């Protein structure tokens, strides 16, 4: 393939846009510490999804063991070579409380929402953006963000300083993705709750049949079953009618929210989920005095 050239049908983003630093949020809350962003990259036209915790620098490309090239986001298994993905094509950066994308002078170029990026210049990456790496199209979704607006991206979990809003109540987290589930668990544990994390509906139902938790954080899209079946099951159990259930979903439309409420959920969180949202949803239903 020949490299893309600017023409009447192609606009370059020659100047980094919208990179003026945002003033930090004025707050006394200790939530802005030690939590990673999680990005979901859905490969358009396939069922493939790549979900990763964001680090300071993450190369997007395709691996080449002969040259000892192993990008953090490897598009080789997803048809990368046939789709014109370079070995070191672009890079995702965590910088200035934002997620950025930069083309690495790739042969076939990187597009952001249809605009061809000038090489080696940083551009803001947002939820629901469309990235085109060579000819491979990736829908960008932030599955987890540290806070409502901004968050330093220090990933040392030993530096987490979350408010203690729980007093040992047992929270069941049902989330099939390892990155997201581990973060939910860590956040809730640091906030004073006992946490059990299950990665499938079947194992979660077994846990619930054995012992009802004090609350459930439930992903509605599970690989083995509709997650809302768990909510329906709980509401039929003795003692389960008042148990708080917080539904989490990447499908954020009103239809999905209504389905969750009809199934018996008490709250609905659309992805991206923030620490603030998660703790407030749980604490307001278990510790109403502390959460005010």
Same domain, 63 and 27: yes
- Look up the CATH number of the domain holding residue 262: 3.40.50.2300
Domain for residue 154, yes or no? no
- Look up the CATH number of the domain holding residue 75: 2.60.200.20
Q: What is the pLDDT of residue 162?
A: 76
Same domain, 204 and 104: no
Q: What is the pLDDT of residue 161?
A: 65
Domain for residue 208, yes or no? yes
Q: What is the pLDDT of residue 176?
A: 92
Q: What is the pLDDT of residue 289?
A: 39
Domain for residue 172, yes or no? yes
Q: What is the pLDDT of residue 163?
A: 83
| Secondary structure in 3-state letters for the chain | CCCCCCECCECEECCCCCCCCCCCCCCCCCCCCCCCCEEEEEECCCCCEEEEECCCEEEEECCEHHHCECCCEECHHHCCCCCCCCCEEEEEEEECCEEEEEECCCCCCEEECCEEECCCCEEECCCCCEEEECCEEEEEEEEEECCCCCCCCCCCHHHCCCCCCCCCCEEEEECCCHHHHHHHHHHHHHCCCEEEEECCHHHHHHHHHHCCCCEEEEECECCCCECHHHHHHHHHCCCCCCCCEEEEECCCCHHHHHHHHHCCCCEEEECCEEHHHHHHHHHHHHCCCCCC
Q: What is the pLDDT of residue 262?
A: 95
Strands 130-133 and 110-112: antiparallel
* CB environment 77-87: b (16+ within 10 A), e (fewer): ebbbeebbbbb
Full pLDDT tens readout for the chain, 292 residues:
433 333 323 333 433 333 333 232 222 333 334 578 899 999 999 989 998 988 899 999 999 999 999 999 999 999 999 999 999 999 999 887 789 999 999 999 999 999 999 999 999 999 889 999 999 999 999 888 886 444 443 444 444 467 888 999 999 999 998 889 999 999 999 999 999 999 999 999 999 999 999 999 999 989 999 999 999 999 999 889 899 999 998 876 688 899 999 999 999 998 889 888 999 999 999 865 344 4
Domain for residue 249, yes or no? yes
Residue span of the structural domain in which 57 resides = 12-145
Residue where a domain terminates, one of 115, 145, 175: 145
Tell me the CA end-to-end span of the chain in Å, nearest whole number: 59
Same domain, 189 and 128: no
Domain for residue 150, yes or no? no
Same domain, 16 and 131: yes
Q: What is the pLDDT of residue 267?
A: 94
Same domain, 172 and 280: yes
Residue 127, burial from CB neighbour count under 10 angstroms (0-12, 13-18, 19+): middle
Same domain, 79 and 141: yes
Residue where a domain terminates, one of 96, 113, 145: 145
Domain for residue 47, yes or no? yes
Q: What is the pLDDT of residue 24?
A: 29
Domain for residue 151, yes or no? no
Domain for residue 157, yes or no? no
Same domain, 125 and 20: yes
Residue where a domain terminates, one of 83, 110, 145: 145
Same domain, 122 and 223: no
Domain count, the chain: 2
Same domain, 74 and 17: yes
Same domain, 172 and 276: yes
Q: Long-range contacts made by residues 180-186, C-beta under 8 angstroms, separation at least 24?
A: 180/38, 180/51, 180/143, 180/144, 180/219, 183/35, 183/36, 183/38, 183/53, 183/144, 184/217, 184/278, 186/157, 186/160
Same domain, 138 and 231: no
User: Would you say the pTM of this structure is higher than 0.85?
Assistant: no
| Sheet containing 215-219: order of strands | 194-198, 170-174, 215-219, 245-249, 267-270
Same domain, 24 and 91: yes
């Amino acid at each position: 393939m020949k490299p893309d050239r600017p023409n009447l049908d192609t606009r370059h983003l020659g100047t980094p846009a919208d990179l003026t630093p945002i003033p930090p949020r004025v707050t006394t809350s200790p939530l802005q510490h030690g939590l990673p962003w999680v990005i979901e990259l859905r490969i358009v036209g396939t069922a493939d999804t790549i979900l990763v915790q964001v680090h300071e620098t993450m190369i997007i490309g395709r691996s080449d063991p002969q040259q000892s090239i192993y990008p953090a986001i490897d598009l080789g298994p997803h048809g990368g070579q046939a789709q014109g993905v370079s070995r070191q094509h672009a890079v995702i950066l965590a910088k200035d409380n934002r997620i950025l994308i930069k083309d690495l002078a790739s042969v076939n170029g990187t597009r952001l929402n249809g605009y061809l990026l000038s090489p080696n210049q940083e551009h803001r990456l947002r939820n629901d953006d469309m990235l085109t790496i060579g000819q491979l199209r990736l829908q960008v979704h932030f599955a987890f963000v540290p806070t409502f607006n901004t968050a330093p991206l220090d990933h040392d979990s030993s530096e987490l300083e979350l408010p203690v809003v729980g007093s040992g109540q047992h929270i069941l987290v049902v989330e099939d993705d390892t990155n997201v589930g581990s973060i939910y668990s860590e956040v809730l544990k640091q906030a004073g709750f006992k946490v059990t994390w299950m990665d499938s509906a079947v194992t979660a139902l077994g846990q619930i049949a054995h012992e009802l938790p004090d609350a459930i954080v439930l992903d509605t899209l599970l690989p083995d079953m509709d997650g809302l079946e768990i909510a329906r099951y709980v509401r039929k159990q003795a003692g389960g009618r008042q148990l708080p259930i917080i539904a989490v979903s990447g499908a954020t439309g009103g239809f999905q929210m209504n389905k969750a409420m009809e199934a018996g959920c008490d709250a609905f969180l659309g992805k991206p989920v923030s620490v603030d949202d998660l703790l407030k949803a749980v604490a307001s239903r278990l510790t109403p005095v502390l959460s005010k």
